[in-house]
Amino acid sequence: AHDNMKSDLYEWATYNKVLLERHELYATGTTGTLLEQALTCPIGKLQSGPLGVAGLP
């Protein structure tokens, strides 16, 4: 998420916590850390840009 949207993402993730925690989630570095703070499940952290897709299972 863009830096100016991170607070909105945190609020959205907290609101949808029960639904999101049922899934295997992936995000880029700082967004992944933010989601881990909002949720109680691990987030797979990827590199930004095209290098990130190389880290997907």
The total of structural domains in the chain comes to 1
Is 80 exceeded by the pLDDT of residue 14? Answer: yes
pLDDT at residue 32 is higher than 80: yes
Can you give the CATH number for the domain in which 9 is found? 3.40.50.1380
Determine the Cα–Cα distance for residues 50 and 57; give it in Å rounded to an integer: 15
Alpha helices in 1-57 (DSSP H): 6-15, 17-20, 29-38
Domain that holds residue 15: 3-55
pLDDT of residue 48: 80
State if pTM tops 0.85: no
Mean pLDDT estimate for the chain: 88
Q: What angle do CA 57, 31, 12 make, to 5 degrees?
A: 105
5-14 b/e with 16+ CB inside 10 Å = b?
eeeebbeebe
Q: Tens of pLDDT along 37-46?
A: 999 899 999 8
